[in-house]
C-alpha cells in the first residue's frame, strides 16, 4: 500500500520558498493545508453562476490564519536566539504567539484591548502561558507601544510588521492555486491590520512573476530576494472588506475610535496601509465595507446553510462577496476564493446571541422530547 508522507507543516512543505536556513530548527504545530471548501447551498440563492470557495483558515492549530505567519516568525526568532515574543493583538495573534512560544519553550507577552477580545482567544493566551497585559486602549495603542518597546527590550515583535509573518501567510495563496489547479479570478478577505491581504498578494505575485521581474510594491522586504517562480500567468483581483465602524481604507485615513462586533478587525490604523493599497491597485481590486448586521447575518448563514462556523470578522469576506456578486461587480462565471480567517468557536458570546428559539428546556421524558421534535418537523 502506498503511504503518503506525513504532513508536518508549511515550513517543511514550502521551505525552498521561505527565507529560512536549510538546517533551521522548525517551530511548527502542523499549520497550513487547510481545506478549500466549495460552497453549495448559498450560491444557489444568488442567481449568478459563480464558483465560490472558502479557505477555512479556522482549521489551523490555534484556530486562525495567524499560525501560518507565526511558524515562520517564531522559527526565525528562535534561530536568532530570541527568548521572548511580544505582540499587540485583537486576539488571534496573541493566541497564536502564545502557542508557538510554548512550543518553542520561550516567553510570550501579549497586549490586548481591555474587554474587547473574544473569550476563546483570551482563554488560549492564558492556557498557553503567555503574560497577558490588557491595556486601557485599543489595538492601535497596543501596536504603538509594542513597536516602541521592541527597540528597548530583548523581545521579538511578532505582529505582521515582522516580515517573516507575511512570508508564512503568503503560503495560503500557494495552497489555493495548487488545489484549484488555477488562479482564482477574485480573492476576497477581511481587512484589519492589512497584513493578510498583503501576504496573499505577495504569494500570488511570487507564482506569477519571473525570476528577473521586480517585486510587487506590496512586498515587505526580509533580507532575501523574492522567490519568483513564474509558474502561472494570472493573479486574482484582491478585494478587501472592512467593518463600517473600523474602515480606514474606505475613509482614506486612520479612524481614531474603531468599533465593530467583529473585534478581530476593530483596527483604525492599519500597519500595512501602503502595501495593502498596492495590492488592491496592482490587482485591479477594491475595498468595501459591511455593517455589523450584514457580517453577523452572513456568519449565521454560513453556519446554518453550509455547516461552516467562522468568527464574525471572517464572515465579512463572504458578506462582501455575496453583495458584489449580486450587483454584478463580480461577474457571473467567476471563480472566487474567500478567506475564512478564524474559527467560530473563538467567539462564543456572539453565537449565544442567536440562542433564542434554538435551545429549549423540556422534561426528561420521551413524550416531551417527541412533542418538541414533531412540532418542528411539521
Taking residues 121 to 140 in sequence order and writing x for each that binds ligand F0G by CB under 6 A, - otherwise, the string is --------------------
Residue with cell 429549549: 360
Residue closer to ligand F0G, measured from CB, 306 or 311: 311
Cα radius of gyration (the chain): 21
Shortest Å distance, C-beta 202 to ligand F0G: 12
183 grid coordinates: 488562479
The 8-class DSSP code of residue 303 comes to I
Alpha carbons 121 and 134: distance in angstroms, whole number: 13
Residue closer to ligand F0G, measured from CB, 160 or 298: 160
Residue closer to ligand F0G, measured from CB, 182 or 300: 300
Shortest Å distance, C-beta 368 to ligand F0G: 40
**113 contacts ligand F0G (rule: CB under 6 A):** no
Alpha carbons 121 and 112: distance in angstroms, whole number: 10
1-26 in b/e form (b: 16+ CB < 10 A) is eeeeeeeebbbbbbeebbbbeeeeeb
Residues 235-294 that bind ligand F0G (CB under 6 A): 264-265
- The H or E element spanning position 288 is strand 286-290
80 CA to centre of own chain: 26
SS (H, E, C) 188-214: EEECCCCHHHHHHHHHHHHHHCCCCCC
Residue closer to ligand F0G, measured from CB, 175 or 311: 311
Shortest Å distance, C-beta 359 to ligand F0G: 26
Residue closer to ligand F0G, measured from CB, 147 or 229: 147
Q: Which stretch binds ligand F0G (CB under 6 A): 25-33, 72-80, 83-91, 203-211?
A: 83-91
Taking residues 160 to 199 in sequence order and writing x for each that binds ligand F0G by CB under 6 A, - otherwise, the string is x-----------------------------xxxxxxx---
Shortest Å distance, C-beta 314 to ligand F0G: 5
Shortest Å distance, C-beta 118 to ligand F0G: 9
Taking residues 290 to 319 in sequence order and writing x for each that binds ligand F0G by CB under 6 A, - otherwise, the string is ---------------------x-xx-----
Identify which of 132, 130, 175, 139 has the alpha carbon closest to the alpha carbon of residue 159.
139
Q: How many residues in the shown chain lie near ligand F0G by CB under 6 A?
A: 22
> How many Cβ atoms sit within 10 Å of the Cβ of residue 65?
31
Alpha carbons 291 and 297: distance in angstroms, whole number: 10
CB pairs under 8 A, 24+ apart, for 2-9? 7/33, 9/71
Taking residues 90 to 109 in sequence order and writing x for each that binds ligand F0G by CB under 6 A, - otherwise, the string is xxxx----------------
Identify which of 288, 238, 241 has the alpha carbon closest to the alpha carbon of residue 262.
241
Residues 315-354 that bind ligand F0G (CB under 6 A): 341-342
Residue closer to ligand F0G, measured from CB, 316 or 366: 316
Residues that bind ligand F0G (CB under 6 A): 64, 66, 89-93, 160, 190-196, 264-265, 311, 313-314, 341-342
Amino acid at each position: 500500500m502506498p503511504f503518503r508522507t506525513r504532513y508536518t507543516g508549511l515550513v517543511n512543505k514550502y521551505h525552498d520558498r521561505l527565507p529560512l536556513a536549510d538546517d533551521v530548527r522548525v517551530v511548527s504545530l502542523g499549520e497550513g493545508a487547510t481545506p478549500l471548501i466549495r460552497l453549495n447551498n448559498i450560491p444557489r440563492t444568488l442567481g449568478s453562476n459563480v464558483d465560490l470557495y472558502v479557505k477555512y483558515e479556522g482549521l489551523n492549530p490555534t484556530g486562525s490564519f495567524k499560525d501560518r505567519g507565526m511558524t515562520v516568525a517564531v522559527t526565525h526568532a528562535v534561530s536568532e536566539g530570541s527568548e521572548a515574543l511580544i505582540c499587540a493583538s485583537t486576539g488571534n495573534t496573541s493566541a497564536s504567539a502564545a502557542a508557538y512560544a510554548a512550543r518553542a519553550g520561550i516567553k510570550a507577552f501579549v497586549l490586548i484591548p481591555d474587554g474587547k477580545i473574544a473569550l476563546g482567544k483570551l482563554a488560549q493566551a492564558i492556557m498557553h502561558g503567555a503574560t497577558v497585559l490588557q491595556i486601557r486602549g485599543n489595538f492601535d495603542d497596543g501596536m504603538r507601544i509594542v513597536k516602541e518597546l521592541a527597540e528597548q527590550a530583548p523581545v521579538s515583535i511578532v505582529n505582521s510588521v515582522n516580515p517573516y509573518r507575511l512570508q508564512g501567510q503568503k503560503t495560503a495563496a500557494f495552497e489555493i492555486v495548487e488545489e484549484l489547479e488555477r488562479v482564482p479570478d477574485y480573492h476576497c478577505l477581511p481587512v484589519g491590520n492589512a497584513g493578510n491581504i498583503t501576504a496573499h498578494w505577495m504569494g500570488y505575485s511570487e507564482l506569477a512573476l519571473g525570476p528577473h521581474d521586480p517585486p510587487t510594491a506590496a512586498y515587505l522586504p526580509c533580507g532575501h530576494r523574492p522567490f519568483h517562480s513564474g509558474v502561472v500567468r494570472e493573479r486574482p483581483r484582491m478585494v478587501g472588506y472592512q467593518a463600517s465602524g473600523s474602515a480606514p481604507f474606505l475613509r482614506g485615513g486612520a479612524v481614531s475610535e474603531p468599533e465593530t462586533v467583529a473585534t478581530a478587525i476593530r483596527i483604525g490604523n492599519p500597519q500595512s496601509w501602503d502595501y495593502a493599497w498596492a495590492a488592491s491597485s496592482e490587482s485591479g481590486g477594491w475595498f468595501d465595507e459591511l455593517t455589523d448586521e450584514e457580517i453577523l447575518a452572513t456568519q449565521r448563514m454560513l453556519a446554518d446553510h453550509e455547516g461552516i462556523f467562522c468568527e464574525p470578522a471572517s464572515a465579512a469576506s463572504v458578506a462582501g462577496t455575496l453583495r458584489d456578486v449580486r450587483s454584478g461587480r463580480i461577474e457571473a462565471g467567476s471563480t472566487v476564493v474567500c478567506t475564512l480567517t478564524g474559527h467560530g468557536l473563538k467567539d462564543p458570546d456572539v453565537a449565544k446571541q442567536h440562542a433564542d428559539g434554538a435551545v429549549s428546556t423540556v422534561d426528561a421524558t420521551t413524550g416531551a422530547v417527541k412533542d418538541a421534535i414533531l412540532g418542528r418537523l411539521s
